[in-house]
Structure 1
Amino acid sequence: MPRTALRICPLCEATCGLTLTIEGTTVTGARGDREDVFSHGFICPKGAAFGGLDADPDRLRTPLVRRDGRLREATWDEAYEAIAAAIPALVREYGPQSVGVVLGNPNVHTMAGNLYPPLLLKALGTRNFFTASTLDQMPKHVSSGLLFGDPFAIAVPDLDRTDFLLLLGANPVESNGSLCTAPDFPGRLKALRARGGTLVVVDPRRTRTAKLADLHLAPRPGSDALLLAALAHTLLAERLAAPGVLAERTEGLGELAEALARFTPEAVAPACDLTAAEIRDLARALAAAPTAAVYGRIGSCTVEYGTLASWLVDVLNILTGNLDRPGGALFPLPAAGPRPRPAGPGKGFALGRWLSRVSGHPEAKSELPIAALAEEIETPGEGRIRALVAIAANPVLSAPDGRRLDAALAGLDFMVSIDPYLNETSRHAHVVLPPPPPSQSAHHDFAFNGFAIRNQVRYSRPAVPLEADRLDECEIHARLVLAVSGRYGSAAPSAVDEMVIHGVLAKETADPRSPLHGQDPQRLAGLLTGEDGPERRLDLMLRLGPYGDR
């Protein structure tokens, strides 16, 4: 008989709740979960196709190990023994920087991809860390770090209460949003207009989102920063700026007018392919709205002045008094995130604490641009990347100059890929570790709850039992941490999670600012619930988080 199971969709940032129909161990259907506290039954075509993706016959079922130049099926122990024999030896001979790590976008859609890569990097001791974020959203992280002191302090538009939404470089009607976790983004835009609000879309293309707008401005591609600067200039020059309580918490407001003095609407209009009147009218409408939010995404990031444009988005939210207030742009408070601390000096945010070896690219958030990976592999000298761990990443297909990277990967001494497919990148690996289908994995959105338009917390256990010949995705990562650190076979995978739990509790109980100060970490560890290490770690994060134990 068919049965149903609840599952959070892992296929995009909207994190909608699904009701899966299951026959035996096969997902035969997916529909929106009407009782989900966040998505309320919404489902998009990707979610509806969950079953087809889950049962894709092209998925790898067993590990692959390269023997005699060819990838062949192997046991899990054979795969990890190959890693344990190769990577620690390379580190001993050439140093930790001889190993690079690449994270692809799917990592933020899984529990394993959030919980274990930091442990892998620590075990390796490498700074050669490359991510998909450096291809798209990094400018927003950098501007947030410089403005707020935290690269993850990204304000999201209060879609359900705002009176005026200015949307730049985004097409959420088709993509469902980015760095703004909102199920049914298109429906929320329609609701905005239905309640009498205004939607303004700035996009060179006449997208489906632009067609929905009250006003569509089509500037020249790449001119976002000029347009935003002119909007801010107009607010200041016409005395329309009203930061309100934000003024006493903001440094540099007095310098802003001087910095923007040259960016008048008349000066930037030709470069933007807009008229000065259009720019002034938009600034005035933004200032006149009872509440408003400015939201910029990929189109405003992946341009020459993407960081400046990302900063100016928040500048506009500050100048209009709409930052961190209902109807404006709000800072989410995720349940598994850190508990708010009393105000005081922090570590701040720094860029370029180290540089890439070949071209001197600065790190940001400890990440190096993935576009520099090929040269770091192919350029001889001390610190050359000789081994690579690619986790849910296919940069040969998705990163710039894929042909060059394809050739570079062929010259590695050793490569590990965690990937369900044999693709353009994983085909170069010496070991491929395939995770199970999503129906066989637990799910919690560590990353996306930090960008959600509503503070909520949801967790779903595997909808289908793990097949006998597979490993849980979290265990795949935990075993990898043990293998690269020379501990495979001498410690159980669960030891990785317990090490984290006891390390966190030791730090918390020693911190005078923590509510756990002075308590016994062993006793506290015994209070955690969960069927396995990842669940216990999630329980710990929830208890230490903003809504947890007091």
Structure 2
Amino acid sequence: MTRTALRICPLCEATCGLTVTVDGDRITAARGDRDDVFSKGFVCPKGASFGELDADPDRLTRPLVRRDGVLTEATWDEAFAAVQAGLRPVVEAHGPDAVAVVLGNPNVHTVAGALYPPVLLAGLRSRSVFTASTVDQMPKHVSSGLLYGDPLAIPVPDLDRTDHLLIIGANPMDSNGSLCTAPDFPGRIRALRRRGGRLTVIDPRRTRTAKLADEHLAIRPGTDALLLFAMVHVLFEEGLVDLGERAAHVVQADEVERLAAGFTPEAVAGPCDLP
């Protein structure tokens, strides 16, 4: 029996709408949902290949245990016994940090992935944890944690109503954006340009996004913090800081002003290699 199901693509945080054709228990087709109010029919190659991914013959559907050097299918009880036999001696002999954990991107997009890794990590007590986030967006988690008290409280830019988009070190024309929850990021950038908005890109590289920008600042690698602090300096120096109703939620703004005092545009121009 063939049926059509409307779903949200689970493969990244853009949350594009999918129209999925299902025959029995197999996905036979996947395309963008044109009626989705957010993604409006857009789907990237990952979402379009959802059926092939689901039916991939190399996809693991049962645990594998290595026996005599060969991975063979096993029961869950056998798999957990193998984990215990392998991990416990290492932890007892060398401490919990001797066990490294590598977590891939899909953990973020499933309920099980959010529930079970923290339990495993709490049991291991290992600090040797590496994730897709470690090499992707960890600075965003750190800054959100320091600013808002929760590393997952990540602000989402209102791309559809902004007048001036400043992009630092990102190339959404190729990456399709990250942590912006924005289906068809390239389309949204083009829409910004069509309505007369301004795009500024700060990046040492001349990327596809930089080529599209109204202004591309080819900053010296590693000096972003100096440029940003100079921007903070100018905001205070020219009286442009107006916290308004947010004043009740912001502390130590005067300390930020004091710290930024020495970072004038003239002082950072040389290190940043920007006039």
After TM superposition, the score normalised by the length of structure 2 is 0.86
Specify the alignment match of 2:29 in structure 1: 29
Specify the alignment match of 1:69 in structure 2: 69
Specify the alignment match of 1:237 in structure 2: 237
Q: Are residues 228 and 78 of structure 1, via their aligned partners in 2, closer, same or farther at CA, if it must alter by over 3 Å? A: same
Q: Are residues 147 and 62 of structure 1, via their aligned partners in 2, closer, same or farther at CA, if it must alter by over 3 Å? A: closer
Secondary structure of the corresponding residue to residue 102 of structure 2: strand
User: Which stretch has the larger CA shift, 73-82 or 161-170?
Assistant: 73-82
Q: Are residues 23 and 231 of structure 1, via their aligned partners in 2, closer, same or farther at CA, if it must alter by over 3 Å? A: same
Specify the alignment match of 1:213 in structure 2: 213
User: Which stretch has the larger CA shift, 127-136 or 113-122?
Assistant: 127-136
Alpha-carbon distance, 1:129 to partner: 3.5
Map 1:47-58 onto structure 2 (within 5 A).
47-58=47-58
Specify the alignment match of 1:255 in structure 2: 255
Specify the alignment match of 1:187 in structure 2: 187
User: Per-residue displacement from partner, 1:206-256 (whole Å, max 9, x unpaired)?
Assistant: 222223322222212222111111222122222233333333432222222
Q: Are residues 265 and 61 of structure 1, via their aligned partners in 2, closer, same or farther at CA, if it must alter by over 3 Å? A: same
Secondary structure of the corresponding residue to residue 257 of structure 1: helix
User: Per-residue displacement from partner, 1:64-120 (whole Å, max 9, x unpaired)?
Assistant: 212223323333443233334554566677765564433222211222111211222
Map 1:59-458 onto structure 2 (within 5 A).
59-87=59-87, 99-275=99-275
User: Per-residue displacement from partner, 1:156-197 (whole Å, max 9, x unpaired)?
Assistant: 212122222211111222212112211122222222233332
Identity of aligned residues (%): 68
CA contact (8 A) 1:34 1:41 kept: yes
Q: Are residues 3 and 260 of structure 1, via their aligned partners in 2, closer, same or farther at CA, if it must alter by over 3 Å? A: same
Q: State the distance in 1 between where 2:98 and 2:207 align.
A: 45
Q: State the distance in 2 between where 1:85 and 1:246 align.
A: 54
Alpha-carbon distance, 1:19 to partner: 0.8
Q: Are residues 62 and 265 of structure 1, via their aligned partners in 2, closer, same or farther at CA, if it must alter by over 3 Å? A: same
CA contact (8 A) 1:103 1:131 kept: yes
User: Per-residue displacement from partner, 1:124-144 (whole Å, max 9, x unpaired)?
Assistant: 454543333233322222223
Alpha-carbon distance, 1:3 to partner: 2.9
CA contact (8 A) 1:176 1:186 kept: yes
User: Per-residue displacement from partner, 1:341-380 (whole Å, max 9, x unpaired)?
Assistant: xxxxxxxxxxxxxxxxxxxxxxxxxxxxxxxxxxxxxxxx
Amino acid aligned to 1:58: D
User: Per-residue displacement from partner, 1:261-281 (whole Å, max 9, x unpaired)?
Assistant: 222222222222221xxxxxx
Secondary structure of the corresponding residue to residue 72 of structure 1: strand
Q: State the distance in 2 between where 1:223 and 1:121 align.
A: 35
Q: State the distance in 2 between where 1:126 and 1:168 align.
A: 33
Q: Are residues 84 and 271 of structure 1, via their aligned partners in 2, closer, same or farther at CA, if it must alter by over 3 Å? A: closer
Q: Are residues 80 and 193 of structure 1, via their aligned partners in 2, closer, same or farther at CA, if it must alter by over 3 Å? A: same
Q: State the distance in 2 between where 1:185 and 1:131 align.
A: 24
Q: Are residues 96 and 262 of structure 1, via their aligned partners in 2, closer, same or farther at CA, if it must alter by over 3 Å? A: closer
Alpha-carbon distance, 1:31 to partner: 0.8
User: Per-residue displacement from partner, 1:455-496 (whole Å, max 9, x unpaired)?
Assistant: xxxxxxxxxxxxxxxxxxxxxxxxxxxxxxxxxxxxxxxxxx
CA contact (8 A) 1:226 1:268 kept: yes
Specify the alignment match of 1:345 in structure 2: none
Where structure 2 has 5 or more consecutive residues not aligned to the other structure, the ranges are: none
Amino acid aligned to 1:110: T
Alpha-carbon distance, 1:14 to partner: 0.8
Q: Are residues 165 and 28 of structure 1, via their aligned partners in 2, closer, same or farther at CA, if it must alter by over 3 Å? A: same
Q: State the distance in 1 between where 2:149 and 2:60 align.
A: 42
Q: State the distance in 2 between where 1:94 and 1:221 align.
A: 39
CA contact (8 A) 1:101 1:130 kept: yes
CA contact (8 A) 1:65 1:79 kept: yes
Q: State the distance in 2 between where 1:75 and 1:100 align.
A: 24
Q: State the distance in 2 between where 1:258 and 1:64 align.
A: 59
Specify the alignment match of 1:490 in structure 2: none
Q: State the distance in 1 between where 2:246 and 2:62 align.
A: 56
Amino acid aligned to 1:71: L
Q: State the distance in 1 between where 2:126 and 2:204 align.
A: 41
Amino acid aligned to 1:253: A
Q: State the distance in 1 between where 2:206 and 2:93 align.
A: 56
Q: Are residues 72 and 139 of structure 1, via their aligned partners in 2, closer, same or farther at CA, if it must alter by over 3 Å? A: same
Q: State the distance in 1 between where 2:81 and 2:258 align.
A: 62
Specify the alignment match of 1:384 in structure 2: none
Q: State the distance in 2 between where 1:61 and 1:144 align.
A: 36
Q: Are residues 272 and 84 of structure 1, via their aligned partners in 2, closer, same or farther at CA, if it must alter by over 3 Å? A: closer
Q: State the distance in 1 between where 2:95 and 2:232 align.
A: 49
Q: Are residues 241 and 58 of structure 1, via their aligned partners in 2, closer, same or farther at CA, if it must alter by over 3 Å? A: same
Alpha-carbon distance, 1:10 to partner: 2.2
Amino acid aligned to 1:249: H
Specify the alignment match of 1:510 in structure 2: none
Where structure 1 has 5 or more consecutive residues not aligned to the other structure, the ranges are: 276-550
User: Which stretch has the larger CA shift, 185-194 or 219-228?
Assistant: 185-194
Structure with the higher strand share, 1 or 2: 2
